[in-house]
Chains A and B, each alone.
Chain A
Amino acid sequence: MYILGVGCYYHDSSAALLKDGIIVAAVQEERFTRKKHDTSFPINSINYCLKSQKITINNIDYIGFYEKPFLKFERVLSQHLHIFPLSFKTFLSSMPSWINEKLRIIRKIRKELKYKKDIFFVEHHLGHAAGSFFISPFKKAAILTIDGVGEWTTTAYGIGENNNINLIKEIKFPSSIGLLYSTITAYLGFSVNNSEYKVMGLSPYGDMNKDTNPYYKKLKKVIDIKEDGSFRMDMNYFIYHYADRMPSKILCKLLNGPIRRPDEEITKRHKDIAAALQLITEEIITKILNYLYKVTKCNNLILAGGVALNSVYNGRILRNTKFKRIWIQPDPGDGGTSIGVASYIYHSILGKKRNFVLKDAYLGPEYPSKEIKDFLYKNKIKYTILKNDKELLKKTAKLIYENNVVGWFQGRMEWGPRALGSRSILSNPCNPKMKEILNLKVKHREKFRPFAPVVCEDDALRYFDCDTPIPESTDFMLMVYPIKKKWHNKIPAVTHVDGSGRLQTIRKYQNQLYYNLIKEFGKLSGIPILINTSFNIRGEPIVCNPHDAYKCMMGTGIDYLVIDKFLIKRDDNPNHMWDSEKYAKD
């Protein structure tokens, strides 16, 4: 039995395919269209899912959509009714897409895919919950979903047991932790639904002490937090419920200044605001989790929704609460709901037994050697063939050790927003200048942003102060942990200002080549850790196919590309026709 899950029209469109309860393919549409966080109908993702299993749409038994569109439309209309006439502009700009696309999703699916069988609609937060719980190792777990907004719900908690999920309570729009985080992201001059992680990275530079950070007390005025973690926001400070901007003038006054322009310098005030936001976010979630534990008495926790990408807090959950185990899927945000809706149909609606645990995130497209060779030949690209894995590992590890920046393109693409060793840029974390080199050559990031380390799971506890046993979500780069003090100076390029690292752990069975590469690098450097950053140009999605990868290398300062068994040196090839840097933006 095949079930296709589809999510689209808000941000991070995606499709996922289940075969007899096992996820066999999942991918975000942005990887094909090359538009970051693409919202469009995921036709390319669907086509990939079908092609990967060599099936057609006639083989699909059910299609699931990741929300109830009419419930969401009711919420949108309520916003307009509440705030009339201030919402006039947004009404005119948003209604055509509702009328032409969002409320006609059945017609779109049937017409675009020529699909004739059943289509199911599952509530958005149920999609989040199912997308994590049904593919987790837990038979029973407490569930918390937190995002910007679904239909009406912005935060929900409940319990999952075997084939059933019950979301018991909710916080409704407009009060939303996700939207509070996005509002401050916008206030700090970063892009909404994209750069929230930058604010998270900025926070340790600010004052993380509640008593001395002046903006902590100020920001607490905008949100009322009860002892059980429930909260409500004073909407005088926000305008996102009726405008296409988020902070109100009153919020700007509260925070002592106007919205930061993107090109403006980041000052101590901005850093303190980011810190205050992170403190408040952590305070709310801790209270909710303590209450959730009290209600459910369950040791296992499932976290889902976009806020579950707050890896700084994720790494503190098991220390701050009574939960013993935590599981977060590689894409806990809206992208992940396509897996959620498909799993929900199979396990809950159809009542089929659970038979799958997601062990790795390699669910995307892969390209056979022949196809890559044809691409290289057609484009007259000079390359070296590496005889076997041993040579590939030795050569690549040596290049990284010699401080080269290496593009690493191997096997199936990762599912979710993080590069996890299939479409990664790898470099030497022991070089104190590597952060600057990477920024200069490839990333052009803000200086405050850290780079992430990858370490083999069996070495992790030597270098990092992780929870034990190390949570599986660490494999998906979703947990930030302190780096042990004695290693701070040894791996400066991945040590953040507060001594932490957003590490990825890798287990041998997940990706043997990648695992062995890290070990091989360890033989040369004495430290089996690499810098792993996503293989993309700033402002573009992670590369998907050989063309994207080669274009990215030639348009930036990546020194080498290791693609399948082919080694390509940037300097050996003319780059005038591959100037991708000019497209770089936020």
Chain B
Amino acid sequence: MKKLKQFFNEFKEGMKDFGSGISMIVNSILLIIVYLIGVGITSLIAKIFNKRFLQTKFSRKETYWEDLNLKKKNKEDYYKQF
């Protein structure tokens, strides 16, 4: 009985490892697709329209400070994650 229980426990652990292995492969494939198609195409379109997502070069403007104006908002706004 003890041996049978041990066998099932090990079997369960093995299946768990197998499952996480499979999910890692599937996730990686999905992420590669998302990166190449989602991020890649959006990035290309953005480049065509000269959209800059990050400011990476010096500029001649007088200041680099940008408006933030972060102050008290409605209570409901703090439930949001964005």
Contact = CB atoms under 8 A, between A and B. Distances in A.
Contacts of A172: 55, 66
A4 to B, nearest CB: 15
A173 B54 contact: yes
A126 interface: yes
Given A78-B54, A79-B54, A91-B39, A226 B63 contact: yes
B79 interface: yes
B9 interface: no
A122 B73 CA distance: 11
Given A123-B70, A232-B59, A349-B78, 18 more contacts: A68-B82, A70-B80, A81-B46, A91-B35, A92-B32, A122-B78, A164-B72, A165-B72, A166-B69, A166-B71, A167-B68, A168-B67, A169-B65, A169-B67, A172-B55, A175-B64, A232-B58, A234-B56
Contacts of B72: 164-165, 348-349
Contacts of A175: 55, 64
A126 B70 contact: yes
* Interface class of chain A by DSSP: mixed
A158 B70 contact: yes
19 contacts: A69-B81, A70-B80, A81-B43, A82-B52, A84-B39, A84-B44, A88-B35, A91-B31, A95-B31, A119-B79, A121-B78, A125-B70, A164-B72, A165-B72, A226-B62, A226-B64, A230-B63, A236-B56, A241-B56
Closest 5 CB pairs of A and B: A235-B56, A230-B64, A70-B82, A84-B43, A78-B53
A153 B67 CA distance: 11
Contacts of A88: 35
A325 to B, nearest CB: 23
Contact of A81 (B53, B62, B70, B81): B53
Interface residues of B, number: 36
Contacts of A156: 68, 70
B39 A81 contact: yes
A168 B71 CA distance: 8
A170 interface: yes
A280 to B, nearest CB: 15
Contacts of A125: 70
B70 A68 contact: no
A81 B48 CA distance: 13
B78 A120 contact: yes
A80 B39 contact: yes
B47 to A, nearest CB: 9
A558 B22 CA distance: 50
Contacts of B32: 92
A235 B35 CA distance: 23
Given A226-B63, A348-B72, A92 B31 contact: yes
A126 B80 CA distance: 15
A74 interface: yes
Contact of B54 (A82, A96, A153): A82
B54 A241 contact: yes
Contacts of B79: 118-121
Contacts of B42: 81
Contact of A92 (B35, B63, B70): B35
A197 interface: no
Contacts of A78: 53-54
B40 interface: yes
A68 B82 CA distance: 5
A5 interface: no
Interface in A272-300: none
B9 to A, nearest CB: 25
A350 to B, nearest CB: 8
Given A68-B80, A92-B28, A349 B75 contact: yes
A231 interface: yes
B27 A96 contact: yes
Contacts of B40: 84-85
A166 B46 CA distance: 33
B5 interface: no
A241 B66 CA distance: 20
